[in-house]
Structure 1
Amino acid sequence: MAAPSNPAATDEVVIPIIEERLRVGRREVETGRVRVDIKNDHHDVLVDEALLRGSVTVERVAIDRHVDSVPDIQDDGTTIIIPVVEEVLVVEKRLILREEIHIHRSARVDQHQETVRLTHQRAIVTRVEPDTTPSPTPEKEV
């Protein structure tokens, strides 16, 4: 047998090494779209409400009688009576009830109607077909 011309070539074993590399990339995929429109609807509402309106009248009632003390103010619910006294100088001092002020209360109910415009908003959502063209994103090597 003949000797090999290169003895190192026969003793050397070459083992191929395989390396796998992973490339990870992203891309945006549109799966759908929506459109939101705001619509304003108006409707008229009739407001029918009872309003209480108060009023008073003042009446002076002449009394001219002697009293021993100042009378109390009286209130019977619809009328307030306020005594007005005067001191007069005589040989002795006496109270004379000169007049009473009668304040009469009354109330009436006026019906009030008014048309008021109210606004109500509603959202209309419409689905739009997606744009299927992918948008590229940079790839990242791992």
Structure 2
Amino acid sequence: VIAPVGTGTRDTSLSDNESIPVVEERLRVGKRDASHGRVRVHAYTVEEPITESIDLREDRVEIERRPVDRAVTGTEAAFQDRTLEAEEYREEAVVSKEARVVEEVGLRKTSDTHRETISDTVRHTEVEIEDDRNDLDKTRK
């Protein structure tokens, strides 16, 4: 008579096709990609008022008239047409702008590989068979 393991009772009506499944867990270790956040770089334009000082020069022409009373000398050109001319100059501020690249910002991804040791438990079925038959029964197979 064979009793199923763990029932504690004997069953004499077992059919020949009954069996106990032997189950064993196996550990499968895989991997998956998991997002850990995002980096976003956003560039925008900001206008900033700026003040610069510059010294500018101005030339002015002034007309001077002074009273004189003297005799004409031989070195002076008397009664000849003459023209005196002077031009005024003024410095003006000249503003120009130049766009310059002063820095570059980019994103670079790097990958590292590391080894992890996974510890877990797995289960399996153990089967114990108790055979209380005497030697005569074993020879009758």
TM-score when normalising by structure 1: 0.27
Larger CA Rg, structure 1 vs 2: 2
TM-score (structure 2 length as normaliser): 0.27
More strand by percentage = 1
